[in-house]
Amino acid sequence: MTILGCIADDFTGATDLAGLLARSGLPVSLRMGIPDEAPTDTAPFEVIALKCRTAPLDEAVTETLRALDWLQRAGAQRFFWKYCSTFDSTPQGNIGPVAEALMQALGTNQTIYCPAFPENGRAIFMGNLFVGQQPLAESPMKDHPLTPMRDSNLMRLLQPQVTRPVGLVDRLTVAGGPEAIRTAMAATEAAHLVVDAVANEDLYTIAEACMDMPLLTGGSAIAMPLPALYRAAGMLGDSAASFTPPTLAPQAVILSGSCSAMTNQQVARYTATGAPALRLDPLDLAENGVRPALDWLAQQDLTQAPLIYATADPDAVKAAQATLGRARAGEIVEQALATLATAARDAGVRRFVVAGGETSGAVTQALNVARLDIGKEIAPGVPWTYCTSAGHDLALTLKSGNFGAPTFFSDALEAL
């Protein structure tokens, strides 16, 4: 029976969450989009990946409520709304409005927001989110092409997105233990509570305090302690995950649409190895289409894991957006990488490294992936996953833009 039903606002975030839950050794099922069929063959932890982080608000709410309905029919009694550990959103949403819609549907008056992920340098102190040692608004996230983050205070970011009061459970309260957290939550009228966390120990304390709430929200790391807590409470059996990865041909490709600072480093490090690489320019794609890139791919030795990337620095991104418009510039790149993914599969590629949330959504949809099995973790929050596409076994790693070390592309291929 499904114990925890999770909804993620993008595909890399979903694999991040599934990978951390799978550390428990218990079965985790990752669905790419809302299944058309009724729930069958469900796991204790079900994760539904949506592509709604930057979708129109009404669409995002509708999709998450549909996902909630499917998870409820799967038997879930507790739910998790997963978004990025850098709180990627606009003043209108979609983090807060979706949370409020889920709260209303579940009949609950309070939830928490904790995007902290200490293993990846995300910490919250006095309601302010830090990326490494930088406040969020001073980090490279300030130049994100779709959701530029210009404030570090999560209460200020969240309040315009919701209709009910926002509050804070600060680090001093968290240090007091689970009972102190529960007492603070009971004493406030705030419906939306940002919770400080600066270390993994804080996550375990918060999760213990909040494990019985109908809805939790945050980054993936706050969900990581839940399997052990549910098992200790007698809610889970001792069965272990039984998935065995398939044996795959060596042909591989790396597709990168993320323009994050870390992905820029990863692209630079990989191209410096002398591996074949092709940069996609949105302006060139708009004028000439994807055919030149398809021709280039057809000429490559796919055992050398060629890289095709639209990764660029903030100035280049702004220049493309100024000509094409923000949405159109992103769509052109996503469509091109999706087309290249299917061409690569048809040419024999069975190992895909994909960087960027929007890119991962476009690629997995183009490959018609419905469900992923979770494999070995390459870096915190980034596992290898396995699926079938057009009758072929594939391995996919879907990397959030800022995750992984500078050597991630090579690390991923070596791990597989």
CATH of the domain at 13: 3.40.50.10840
Q: What are the residue ranges in the chain where pLDDT is below 70?
A: 238-242
User: Is the domain of 207 the same as that of 333?
Assistant: no
Q: Residue 314 has what pLDDT?
A: 86
User: Is the domain of 204 the same as that of 283?
Assistant: no
Domain ends where: 201, 232, 263?
232
Q: Residue 146 has what pLDDT?
A: 84
> What is the extent of the structural domain holding 192?
4-232
> In what side-by-side order are the strands of the sheet with 122-125?
122-125, 128-131, 134-135
User: Is the domain of 206 the same as that of 290?
Assistant: no
Cβ count within 10 A of residue 181? 22
Q: Cβ distance 75 to 42 under 8 Å?
A: yes
Q: Residue 346 has what pLDDT?
A: 98
User: Is the domain of 278 the same as that of 200?
Assistant: no
User: Is the domain of 224 the same as that of 256?
Assistant: no
Domain ends where: 171, 203, 232?
232
Dihedral sign from CA coordinates of 311, 314, 316, 319:
positive
Q: How many domains does the chain have?
A: 2
User: Is the domain of 222 the same as that of 303?
Assistant: no
User: Is the domain of 19 the same as that of 98?
Assistant: yes
User: Is the domain of 218 the same as that of 78?
Assistant: yes
Q: Residue 371 has what pLDDT?
A: 92
**Closest of 72, 71, 70, 74 to residue 40, by C-alpha:** 74
User: Is the domain of 336 the same as that of 409?
Assistant: yes
Q: Residue 236 has what pLDDT?
A: 83
pLDDT per position as a tens digit, 255-274: 999 999 999 999 999 999 99
Q: Is 113 helix (H, G, I), strand (E, B) or coil?
A: strand
In a domain, 23, yes or no: yes
For residue 409, give Cα distances in angstroms to 2, 72, 277, 356: 34, 37, 12, 13
Q: Residue 242 has what pLDDT?
A: 62
User: Is the domain of 214 the same as that of 89?
Assistant: yes
